[in-house]
Chain A
Amino acid sequence: MSAVEILLGIDLGSTTTKAIALDHAGRVLGRGITNTRSNYNVASRIVRDEALVQSRFELVRHAIAADPELSRVERSFIGALVRNFRKQQHLEQLERLESALDHCADALRYAPCREAVKEKLHQIDEAIRSRVPGHFSELAVRKSDFFRDLAAADYMWAAERFSDAKSVSFDVLCGLFDAAILEVENAATDGAFERHSGPALEQTLATAPAEIQKRAPKLRAAVESVRTREFRVLGMVGTGYGRQRLPFPKEQVRSEILCHGLGAHAMFAGTRTVLDIGGQDTKAIQIDSSGIVTSFQMNDRCAAGCGRYLGYIADEMNLGLHELGSLAQESTCSVKINSTCTVFAGAELRDRLSLGQKRSDILAGLHRAIMLRAMSILARSGGISDEFTFTGGVARNPAAVSALKELVKQNYGDRTLNISPESIYTGALGAALFAQRASEGRTVA
């Protein structure tokens, strides 16, 4: 079979790194995202590999969907296959983590502790492994898909159980994790599909219901064919905050403004204005009917009102980031907040709480303040034209969206507001599309 031609876009953000893999026709095959805090080279490798893994799954899905005999079980089979695959991946990572923890324990300064520490680590390892099946069961709801998050949560839980102030303290165990996780994140991630798809397939088939079992030979063949399929990356474009650091030649790097504009256009062809609120910056972009940027404004000097700000608030309130929006929506009487300065976020919040203001009301006020800021950057860039596409992590926050809708209506009238659940990949999508254009010989800067 001929090689699959892939076009890659990689978006290096301040908080997360994303990748999109397109086929030669510009259709999305796979996506990758990581929150690694390691260097950009590692992050881009991880997301590229993940996007390619997802692409392989997509190809498997295509193969199965195309065969009338198999299409009935497509969803349930792929679902189970992916779960088992992820479990295998997770277990591989865990093994690496265990080995890294072991190295780190070796490096401990006080030899007498070392034995005790390793004993605890062993107990922790076992405890963590016992939880793995639960994370990847069919009905499991994971708070995060990132290995770091899952492993950290499990590790901390176990460490609390097994730590002992007198012999091996919780702090020592935490320190070991922090060191070890870096080692894991820096390890190579390619070839995951090749390694794990086999075992995942066998596990899936072994526990599958009859209708899947009886189609086993064909299903196996489908997976096998994809496993051995060659992928050829026709082009790759990097964008985002860290793009300078990548060893990409200049022609393979595009500004995130352009990538965002093109990505938004690809998601919603009627887009004329794009608002992106990222981890640390806010971008307002005007594009024309071909997705070409005509004007833009950024606020990247100050993280007020960006994702990170919400992160601080979430931490202060001991909530998950994704819970902020829904709590804000419970507000009956929004509190007027004038400043979204991250430096004072914590103090302001504590002050208001002590004054008896309700969390939901304060949050509602905060969300409005954030969107007011976004409105002013939009105004500077040229206003809000129809259609208006909102991207970035904050676009997943229902309170932010509803505050934005209200402000848009008040100040600009009716505008179609587009939000895609995949909006976090907007920049990577645009980058991949630029890679596509370049590969077609279309000379674009």
Chain B
Amino acid sequence: MSGQTVKTPTVQKEESMVLQKQLIGDYYDSLGRAPESGKRVVSTFVPGNLAELLRSFDLLPILPEINALQSGMRKLSANYIAEAEKQGHSEDVCTYVKCDIGMLKSGSIGPTGVKLPNPDLLLLSYTGCFTFLKWFELLRQEYQCPVAMLHVPYLSGGRIEPHHVDYVVKQLRTEVIPKLEQVSGRRYDEARLSEMLALSVKAEDDFVWVLESAKHEPSPIDAYFGGVYYIGPIFTAFRGSEAGVEYYRTLREEIAERIRLGLGPVTPEGTMEKQRYRLVVEGPPNWTSFREFWKMFYDEGAVVVASTYTKVGGLYDRGFRHDPNRPLESLAEYCLGCYTNLGLPSRVDLLERYVRDYRADGFMINSVKSCNSFSVGQLLMLRQLEQRTGVPGGFIESDLVDPRYFSFANIKNRIESYIQMLEQKRMTRMPA
């Protein structure tokens, strides 16, 4: 960097954010217009999200998880959850489900204020989470619409075997595609699918580049809080689209510029100037106090350099790419490789890699009440990771979208204690 004092970057740092906001806005608008436009709508999940397949049929995906988290961020979820509990749903179960059902019972007004259409099909991509199964069974009852079940087997051994791919591909051919054809009124067009997958690959390359930019010191991104924005398009309706490719290209350029200027990540509090601690985070974020949660890290000068949550909708930084030449097989491999579909030992391996490759000072686990898929076993993972990496692990507890389970004081207490512990350790390592 030249000797100039001007720190304000000349790069349009907001462009990717502007783009993304537009993408989301347009997407919700098109959902709102679906009844008139005649576009068919298919609900599905982020893990195992077959965006290209749906788009090849001109179908519009709805992602209830995204609706739920958006409701959480906009402080709507507490009421929705209360509504669902009034209808008889247990306090013990996943708050995404309750938020979705509550939203449904309250008129299906989506997070941007647009009325959401009823789905024409529920694509039950049963990937990495048992609750998905019950969620769509509950929705089937509400909407009285057909369901396509895609059972993605669990990788308890951590490796994709040929018979796993085989099973998934067979289900795509015999169960999913026929139902998509029925709903859309179009025939399966493999060529079109392949074209879209080729676009996905481009976006994936840029996306991985962005994730790995955090290996720099200082890191130009926050790979957890900031990461949540970066995964948006690729985990939802925009993978395999030109808009998606453009977004990731723009994002990559912006981040490259930040690196050139030696800048830290953009945060709601401003650009992060001082990065005192590099952390790896395991677990989903809390949505209802997202900004306050981020600020706790920011206040401590803690930047997240890698996270596992940014792999729930697909793990791309271990080499996987969609393959236009093997469309259905690579869609199967994509589903199988999603983070929550990996056995616990593989998750620990991945986290260990992240701690080393990203030169982290420590790691933090956000244990989320709603999500057994993530949470069960995290205490063991904590011990194992500490032993294997030698860096300390922090442990906090919260929830996805139920504000009753986010205690600001408790969490801040634990984070502060953890950071102070890191600092003390660092002090004692310094020469006298």
Interface residues of A (CB under 8 A from B): 241, 244, 254-258, 290, 292-298, 300-301, 380, 382, 443-445
Contacts and interface: CB of A to CB of B under 8 A. Distances in A.
Contacts of A298: 410, 413-414
Contacts of A445: 419-420, 423-424, 427
A244 B299 CA distance: 14
Nearest to A295: B392
Interface residues of B, number: 25
A168 B251 CA distance: 76
Contact of B413 (A241, A294, A443, A444): A241
Given A241-B413, A290-B428, A301 B421 contact: no
Nearest to B428: A292
A292 B414 CA distance: 16
A295 B397 CA distance: 16
A240 to B, nearest CB: 10
Contacts of A296: 417-418, 421
A244 B382 CA distance: 28
Given A241-B409, A244-B412, A301-B397, A443 B417 contact: no
A294 B423 contact: no
A255 B392 contact: no
B258 to A, nearest CB: 27
Contacts of B395: 297, 380
Which of A254, A295, A380 has the most chain B CB atoms closer than 10 A to its own CB? Answer: A295
Interface in B371-426: 379, 382-383, 386, 392-393, 395, 397, 407, 409-410, 412-414, 416-421, 423-425
Interface of B: 379, 382-383, 386, 392-393, 395, 397, 407, 409-410, 412-414, 416-421, 423-425, 427-428
B299 to A, nearest CB: 9
B413 A255 contact: yes
B379 A293 contact: no
A442 B414 CA distance: 24
Contacts of A258: 417, 420-421, 424
Given A443-B427, A444-B427, A445-B427, A294 B409 contact: no
Contacts of B386: 295
A256 B386 CA distance: 22
Nearest to A434: B420
Contacts of B419: 445
A290 B421 CA distance: 13
B410 A255 contact: no
A241 B417 CA distance: 12
A444 B427 CA distance: 7
Contacts of B416: 255
Contacts of A290: 428
B410 A300 contact: yes
Closest A-B pairs by Cβ, 10 of them: A445-B423, A255-B417, A257-B417, A293-B421, A292-B424, A300-B410, A255-B416, A255-B420, A258-B420, A445-B420
A292 B379 contact: no
17 contacts: A256-B417, A257-B417, A290-B428, A293-B417, A293-B420, A293-B421, A293-B424, A295-B386, A295-B393, A298-B410, A298-B414, A300-B413, A301-B397, A444-B424, A445-B419, A445-B420, A445-B427
The binding surface of chain B is classed by DSSP as helix
Contacts of B414: 298, 300
B91 to A, nearest CB: 13
A292 B421 CA distance: 7
Nearest to B276: A445
A355 to B, nearest CB: 29
Nearest to A281: B410
Given A295-B392, A444-B423, 14 more contacts: A257-B421, A258-B420, A292-B421, A293-B424, A295-B386, A295-B421, A296-B418, A297-B395, A300-B410, A301-B407, A301-B410, A380-B382, A443-B427, A445-B420
A298 B367 CA distance: 13
Nearest to A296: B417
Contacts of A444: 423-424, 427
Contacts of B383: 382
A162 B428 CA distance: 65
A292 to B, nearest CB: 5
Contacts of A380: 379, 382, 395
Nearest to B405: A301
A296 B396 CA distance: 11
Nearest to B398: A301
A254 B420 contact: yes
A241 B408 CA distance: 12
B12 to A, nearest CB: 34
Contacts of B428: 290, 292
A158 B382 CA distance: 58
Contacts of B410: 298, 300-301
A313 B393 CA distance: 36
B407 A256 contact: no
Nearest to B392: A295
A292 B425 contact: yes
Contacts of A443: 427
A262 B215 CA distance: 35
A199 to B, nearest CB: 43
Nearest to A299: B397
B124 to A, nearest CB: 33
Contacts of A292: 421, 424-425, 428
B413 A256 contact: yes
B295 to A, nearest CB: 13
